């Protein structure tokens, strides 16, 4: 400090004229007065986080968009497959095996395997994420439709409903809890997996984790992680609300 203190006295007048440059310039660099992110051991820098939080806005929106589009597409496909399997029983084993294989392929590999076919970009990420949701939603649609008690369907038939009416007015509404349970699992998983969309060039919060600067900086990783978990929770709550709205008879039973 003494050496540095001596130096500050030698500062050229023109430099001193700038004001406090002289003082700040020769400040001793100890762990104490370094900014948090430059210290060797740190877990989370609040200052950095509050200053740079805006850089997470676009990736967060990208990731939410990936999730919403993929889950909706996955739901439409899986629901159609579920209805088909409900009618045509022999289709069940091949459909379960097919969706199961898609589910078993590691997400990161699926993202990359699509690159030669669909190229880098958002569409590739959406296709892979959609493929992931199929197994969970499909299984729950079939389960939900199967669990509708036979007597209920008999009663509906007795009242003169056609098969189509029984499906849409009795079976599907009664399967809603199972279907939404599948959607919730699929959505929360997709939020987490969408972090890997960066490998398909699909953006998202993975961009804030991968890369030299981020990989060695815990704060950047922690923020991305917290946003992903919060996003999963957020979508889960939305689906829970939808389920409550769609199954009013359940609420009555609880009371």
Partner 1 sequence: MSGLASLLPPAAYSFGGAFEFIFSEQASNVTGGKKVGGIEQVLELAATQVQVSILALLLALLIALPIGLYFGHRGVGELLAVGIGNAGRAVPELALIALVAVVIGVGTLTLVLVLAALGIAPILTNTFVGIRQVDRASVDAARGAGMTEFQILRKVELPLAVPSIMQGVRGASVNIVATATIAPLVGVLTLGEFILNENVYGSDGVLAGAICTAVLALIFEFGLAALQRRLTSKGLKLQQASA
Given the rule CB under 8 A, which residues bind partner 1? 43, 100-101, 103-113, 115-116, 185, 188-189, 191-193, 195-196, 199, 205-206, 209-212, 214-218, 221-222, 224-225, 228-229, 232-233, 236
- Please choose, from the candidates 32, 154, 144, the residue with its C-alpha nearest in 3D space to the C-alpha of residue 82: 144
Name the minimum Å distance from CB 110 to partner 1: 7
136/183 Cα distance (integer angstroms): 8
Name the minimum Å distance from CB 11 to partner 1: 36
Name the minimum Å distance from CB 24 to partner 1: 30
* CB-nearer residue toward partner 1: 162 or 241: 241
167/141 Cα distance (integer angstroms): 12
Sign of CA dihedral 112, 114, 116, 122: negative
Name the minimum Å distance from CB 106 to partner 1: 3
* CB-nearer residue toward partner 1: 16 or 185: 185
Name the minimum Å distance from CB 188 to partner 1: 5
* CB-nearer residue toward partner 1: 156 or 194: 194
Name the minimum Å distance from CB 232 to partner 1: 4
* CB-nearer residue toward partner 1: 11 or 242: 242
* CB-nearer residue toward partner 1: 5 or 211: 211
* CB-nearer residue toward partner 1: 110 or 175: 110
59/51 Cα distance (integer angstroms): 17
């Amino acid at each position: 400090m003494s050496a540095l203190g001596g130096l500050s006295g030698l500062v050229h007048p023109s430099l001193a004229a700038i004001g406090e440059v002289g003082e700040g310039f020769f400040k001793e660099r100890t762990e104490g007065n370094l900014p948090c992110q430059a210290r060797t051991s740190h877990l989370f820098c609040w200052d950095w986080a509050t200053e740079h939080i805006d850089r997470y806005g676009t990736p967060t929106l990208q990731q939410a968009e990936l999730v919403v589009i993929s889950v909706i597409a996955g739901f439409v496909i899986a629901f159609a497959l579920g209805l088909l399997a409900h009618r045509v029983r022999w289709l069940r084993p091949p459909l379960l095996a097919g969706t199961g294989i898609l589910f078993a392929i590691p997400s990161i590999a699926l993202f990359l395997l699509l690159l030669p076919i669909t190229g880098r970009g958002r569409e590739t990420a959406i296709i892979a994420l959609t493929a992931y949701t199929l197994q969970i939603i499909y299984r729950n649609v079939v389960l939900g439709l199967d669990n509708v008690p036979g007597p209920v369907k008999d009663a509906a038939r007795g009242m003169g409903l056609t098969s189509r009416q029984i499906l849409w007015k009795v079976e599907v509404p009664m399967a809603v809890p199972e279907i939404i349970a599948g959607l919730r699992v699929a959505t929360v998983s997709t939020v987490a997996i969408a972090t890997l969309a960066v490998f398909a060039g699909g953006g998202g919060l993975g961009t804030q984790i991968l890369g030299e600067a981020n990989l060695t900086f815990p704060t950047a990783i922690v923020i991305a992680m917290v946003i992903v978990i919060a996003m999963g929770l957020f979508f889960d709550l939305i689906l829970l609300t939808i389920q409550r709205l769609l199954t009013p008879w359940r609420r009555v039973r609880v009371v």
